[in-house]
Amino acid sequence: MASLKVFISSTCYDLHSLRGQLRSVMLGFGHEPIMSDQAEVIFDPQIHTHTSCLREVKNCDVVVLVVGSRFGGTIIPKALEQIDLEKISDMSRSEKFGEGGYKISITQAEILQAIQNGIPVFAFVDSGIMRDHLTYEKNKNKDIIKEIEFSSIDKPETAAYIFEFINFLRLRNENNSIFEFSRFEDIEIQLKKQWSGLFQRLLSEQRLKITDGRSIDLLSSQIADLKAAVLGSISSGELKETAKGAIRFRTLIDFTYSLINEIAPEKFDTLIKSNAPLKQILSELGIANFVQPDRTMDRSAAYSSILINTNGTHFLIRIPLHRIYRLLEEWNDFKELGEEAKSAIISAVLDSRTGRTTPLITHFNEPYIEGSSEAPESAVNTRDGEVSFLDYITTQDARKELIYNSLTSFINSDPVMSKINMDIEVRSEEVLVIKKTDDKDMKYTFPYKIFKGTDITTAVDSILSRMRMAFS
């Protein structure tokens, strides 16, 4: 049975006794400790020992870092070539570590190697060093800093290298937790708690994944059975195509019928069979803009949109904004159908609209009071040469707006995350989240990629999943 390989990273001379205790605990856990001073690193005779240590880190599952009073040996340049320092520096808001004359020790390089390879790091710093670190932070930009001798640091000339490395760790975008310790038992207790918690989460997520998967499979099976039963009862090929079209375009027809019937019912037959783009049809109906409702006032706003009319009134649409965007794309396929197919599909959908308890679209004869989650003002009016939302939605800024609205909606409705004080900024390829606490603000970045509009929901789900893990 494969065991967890735990790389123990620290200076050896001053922490020899603690490393021995840590090794005993790892073995007691049933894990395999990897320690350079215990001949558990393969030292290739053709390369430097520093390079061998960095290579061994990549073969481990987790790294436990212990920062004591000593800086240790400076890593040789040849070994440091394994690490992309520019890429690593982007993972932290630290300004000085690794720049200019700041040296990097072999212990620090081991951690950089782990970070570069996505290996979790559990960092422990001596409580005395953490106290001196606070003093360093308050004075590091003063000339007097070079004259201060910190009692926790073995060699005064290495103090800045150790303290800036701590800054690099605590200012990382993720995995930036640092645990203080004054005795070995503090390390042992924290590792037991952290690893036990991660194991419990793994089991819970696996259990939920299996349960959700079964529910989805069952629902998909039931839907497939229903479709097969309905389509199987239709003998005509043309009727089958009509049935398939009614299933595919049901929401599109429902949306366009409801909207046209509210604004200009006499134009329904002409517009619904038009070959013009849907955004052009909406503009002809006097639609100026779509915005997301203010989710802080109503959690159900995640599933709705606001449609602004040029006459100053507005509509509430019970379709989420990202779904409307997909309807614009679906219209391109619908308008390519023949006239008979369109008529059959429209009739089939409209005949099945009975029994709706809540109208899809509700008209309000008053201006919409826009909240903080409104679309940018540049996307409101087309008469003065500005870009309408229907054109704007295909741009990168529109996608950022959709991601922001979706994230804030789900966060506000989540019982745990809604209690966290945070600011969110959606950038081109990442989301910046600033978690505010009484002590300090912590920044996290969550990268994402959007290849097409229909990927927005997937991107939001991925970001939310990583946010939950980071904040738990």
Per-residue pLDDT tens, the chain, 472 aa: give them. Answer: 678 999 999 998 889 999 999 999 999 989 999 998 888 888 888 899 999 999 999 999 999 999 999 999 999 999 999 998 888 888 888 877 766 557 899 999 999 999 999 999 999 999 999 999 999 998 988 888 888 999 999 999 999 999 999 999 998 888 888 999 999 999 999 999 999 888 888 888 777 776 666 666 666 555 555 555 554 554 555 555 666 777 788 888 888 888 898 898 898 888 988 888 888 898 888 888 877 775 444 444 556 788 888 888 888 888 887 788 788 888 988 888 888 888 888 887 787 665 444 577 888 887 876 543 333 333 333 333 334 444 444 456 667 777 777 787 677 767 778 788 888 988 878 889 998 887 788 888 888 776 544 456 667 777 887 887 787 6
Nearest to 398 by CA among 434, 452, 465, 361: 452
Angle at 91 between CA 86 and CA 92, to 5 degrees: 105
Give the list of residues 6+ apart from residue 423 with CB closer than 8 angstroms, or none: 433, 434, 436
Indicate the angle between helix axes 396-413 and 321-334, nearest 10 degrees. 130
DSSP 269-317: HHHHT--S-HHHHHHHTTEEEEE---TTT-GGGGG-EEEEETTS-EEEE
Nearest to 405 by CA among 309, 291, 318: 291
Residue 397 corresponds to which tokens in the numbers above?
Answer: 């800024």
Q: Measured between alpha carbons, how far is residue 398 from residues 192, 293, 376, 389, 405 in Å?
A: 45, 15, 9, 8, 11
Query: Whole-angstrom Cα distance, residue 200 to residue 72?
Result: 37
pLDDT score, position 379: 35
State the maximum Cα–Cα separation within the chain, in Å, rounded to a whole number.
92
Query: Whole-angstrom Cα distance, residue 6 to residue 122?
Result: 10
Strand (E) or helix (H) holding 132:
helix 127-139
DSSP E strands, 58-185: 62-67, 121-126, 178-181
Residue 212 corresponds to which tokens in the numbers above?
Answer: 């959700």
Secondary structure letter of residue 327 according to DSSP:
H
pLDDT score, position 453: 41
> What are the start-end ranges of the H helices in 30-96?
49-57, 77-80, 85-89
Count Cβ neighbours within 10 Å for each residue of 313-347 and write b for 16 or more, e otherwise.
ebbbbebbbbebbbbbebbeebbebeeeebebbbe
Nearest to 102 by CA among 150, 55, 158: 158
Count Cβ neighbours within 10 Å for each residue of 143-167 and write b for 16 or more, e otherwise.
eeeeeeebebbbeeebbbbbbbbbb
Nearest to 31 by CA among 206, 199, 179, 177: 199
Query: Whole-angstrom Cα distance, residue 161 to residue 148?
Result: 14
Q: What is the three-class DSSP state of 181?
A: strand
CATH of 5-182, picked from 1.10.3470, 1.10.760, 3.40.50, 1.10.287, is 3.40.50
Query: Whole-angstrom Cα distance, residue 242 to residue 347?
Result: 10
Give the list of residues 6+ apart from residue 124 with CB closer than 8 angstroms, or none: 64, 65, 66, 67, 178, 179, 180, 181, 186, 187, 190
Sort 252 into a burial class: Cβ within 10 Å, 0-12 / 13-18 / 19+. buried
- The radius of gyration computed from the CA coordinates of the chain, to the nearest angstrom, equals 30
DSSP 216-256: HHHHHHHHHHHHHHHHHT---HHHHHHHHHHHHSHHHHHHH
Query: Whole-angstrom Cα distance, residue 74 to residue 148?
Result: 23
